[in-house]
A and B are shown apart, each in its own frame.
Chain A
Amino acid sequence: MSINLKTIKHISKLSRISVDEKKAEKLAEDLNSIFDFIEKLNELKTENVEPLTSVAETTLKLRSDEVKSKNLRDQVIKNSPKENEDYFVVPKVIE
């Protein structure tokens, strides 16, 4: 198992984190040492094991579909880095 620079570029794109050459090299080195460590799991046979998705042995509770929080517009926009009236502003998406 070896993660090369091409893979790092691909993951960086998927995770929307820009990575320059120098950072990519360091990441490749770190991720390779971490994955060497993770590969230990391959020692185990798990064909017949059910995956554990949640330790909380509970079924999702149903609730009535009613509005509990109202008039939160100001609160929602309060921490916005850039807004115009009631809208979040981002760089132009459509030409």
Chain B
Amino acid sequence: MSDITKQSLSELVENIKGKKLSSSEVTKAFVERSKKSKELNSYITEDYANALNKAKKFDEKPNLDLKLPGIPMAVKDLFCTRDLRTTAGSKILNNFVPTYESTVTQNIWNEGAILMGKLNCDEFAMGSSNETSFFGNVQNPIDKNLVPGGSSGGSSSAVAAQLTPITIGTDTGGSIRQPASFTGTVGLKPTYGSCSRYGIVAFASSLDQAGPMAQNVKDCALLQEVISTYDEKDSTSIDFKRNEYSKELTKDIKGKKIGIPKEYRVDGMPKEIEDLWKKGIEYAKDCGAEIIDISLPHTNYALPTYYIVAPAEASSNLARYDGVKYGFRAEGETLIDMYEKTRSEGFGAEVQRRIMIGTYVLSSGYYDAYYLKAQKVRKLIKNDFDDAYKKVDAILTPSTPSSAFKIGEKTNDPVSMYLNDIFTVPVNLAGLPGISIPAGHDAKGYPLGLQIIGKAFDEQNILNIAYAMEEKINFKNNINDWWIK
């Protein structure tokens, strides 16, 4: 019983299908461990009693043909879940109980999984450390004083600490890959248009994508296969032939051409990251891949572009929080007074900052200088990738410019916080798939990740490369359960 939570998703599925474990046993094990792990603050909302009931019901009439039969799962609190509070980590949605379900979570429940609760995240997914959440920061199971990354920080800590066998996050500028890298887990940001955005609290609609966060590549492929569907409720959902990613997964990547972009050797990059990257290149060669030097000349312009595009879209998306139809309301003398107080008291500092940036860059007289300019540079960034993919099948980079930093270390300097996403943001701007896999440790013993970036809709290829490299890397996470008394 005690080692149930140590099993990977694929093992749990196999054991439930083989009737060696029941859904109730598995759900109980993860619920118990989650209960003992409150100190991590991974959850915003727990739904354990319902989860145990659903597991019992599943066991009474188990459908073992499903892909996630009776598997308990907690999800990022950015996905609307019918009848279970969905906060987006914000005070303004503190009391919001959706009357509908996001497509991605519905796909997961349709395959037999069971909701255990909602996981902490930066407010409206705006952050790289989970410190902007109204519900408090999350601790990294690697070390008490470390951030788990963000914005999907509750998700990364919950997977690394084995409070849930697998989870989903969302990634607008790195919010799946960076926390995966900080916690020694695997995170996939799919191609834009691969997973439906319906029912996900919107941040920056031209960049947001949902994706799996897992302990290993195979589990990640299985969940991606479940969540990626065409959805007419999302006008940017794309109707393309989706693979059965887990079934088609192969370690045979012989002859695959992998590009190494020289512009990712950024100034002041720690030697540890440089070394990790070199090691990654050797692993890829060992797997039979061919390494090719490439150039992505506009890499340095990706972050400034992102910090125009994302806040602009956010300021527009977040205009809906006005205290009228749902969410928090602060009383005011007049309607305008009520709006202004509601938004001033309901949003946290980082969200207000981004709304202000976005409002400014879209305001009369500044639109061309900022927003239009950013859209043009975004085109140049995408062109860089298009050119590179004429020569290579995938691109290998570090996931982050450092290992996890300390809680409070970067909260007073927004720009230094933003620089965390330097390797992940270009992928969102170009709408491409990217996966982060754990690849080593720094001198302090903290995990470091490598990112594999693919062509649009080529998730299978980067999953295969990640799968092959994972075996060579043979990464082991150093987690000693320090938070369990």
The residues of A with any CB-CB pair to B shorter than 8 Å are 3, 7-8, 10-12, 14-19, 27, 30-31, 33-34, 37-44, 46, 49-56, 58, 60-61, 63, 72, 75-76, 78-82, 88, 90-93
Contact = CB atoms under 8 A, between A and B. Distances in A.
Contacts of B430: 55
B415 A55 contact: no
B329 interface: yes
A11 B431 contact: no
A47 B428 CA distance: 24
A57 B431 CA distance: 10
Contacts of A80: 324-326
Given A17-B340, A30-B414, A78-B97, A44 B379 contact: no
B2 to A, nearest CB: 41
Contacts of A46: 373, 376-377, 380
Most chain B C-beta atoms within 10 Å of own C-beta, residue among A40, A56, A92: A56
A44 B337 contact: no
A79 B206 contact: no
Nearest to B354: A34
A38 B236 contact: no
Contact of A31 (B193, B333, B336, B360): B360
B308 interface: yes
Contacts of A40: 300-301, 304
Given A19-B344, A33-B414, 15 more contacts: A11-B356, A15-B356, A17-B340, A34-B418, A37-B418, A40-B301, A41-B374, A52-B376, A55-B193, A58-B239, A78-B97, A79-B95, A82-B329, A90-B335, A91-B332
B341 A37 contact: no
Contacts of B370: 38
A16 B343 contact: yes
B415 A56 contact: no
Given A44-B301, A46-B380, A55-B192, A14 B357 contact: no
Interface string B293-304: 000001011011
A34 B339 contact: no
A92 B332 CA distance: 10
B310 to A, nearest CB: 12
Interface of B: 95-97, 99-100, 192-193, 206, 232, 235-236, 238-239, 298, 300-301, 303-305, 307-308, 315, 322-329, 332-341, 343-344, 347, 352-353, 355-357, 359-360, 363, 370, 372-380, 382, 413-415, 418, 429-431, 456
Contacts of B326: 79-81
B360 A49 contact: no
Given A12-B356, A61-B232, A38 B379 contact: no
A32 to B, nearest CB: 11
Contacts of A60: 235
A30 B353 contact: yes
Given A17-B356, A90-B338, A55 B431 contact: yes
Nearest to A81: B329
Contacts of A7: 360
Contact of A33 (B95, B372, B415): B415
A44 B323 contact: no
Given A15-B315, A31-B353, A51-B375, A90 B324 contact: yes
8 contacts: A7-B360, A11-B359, A15-B343, A18-B344, A31-B360, A46-B376, A56-B193, A81-B329
Contacts of A16: 322, 336, 339-340, 343
Contact of B307 (A34, A44, A54): A34
A27 B232 CA distance: 40
A57 B363 CA distance: 28
A53 B372 CA distance: 9
Contacts of B352: 17, 27
B167 to A, nearest CB: 25
A93 B326 CA distance: 19
Most chain A C-beta atoms within 10 Å of own C-beta, residue among B308, B335, B377, B429: B377
Given A17-B352, A44-B301, A79-B96, A31 B236 contact: no
Contacts of B382: 52, 55
Contact of B378 (A52, A56, A76, A91): A52
B431 A44 contact: no
Contacts of B339: 16
A76 B98 CA distance: 10
Nearest to B337: A91
Given A11-B356, A56-B431, A91-B335, A44 B340 contact: no
A31 B370 CA distance: 14
A34 B455 CA distance: 31
Most chain B C-beta atoms within 10 Å of own C-beta, residue among A50, A79, A80: A79
B353 A17 contact: no
Most chain A C-beta atoms within 10 Å of own C-beta, residue among B307, B323, B343, B356: B356
B307 A38 contact: yes
Contacts of A53: 206, 375
A60 B206 CA distance: 14
B263 to A, nearest CB: 14
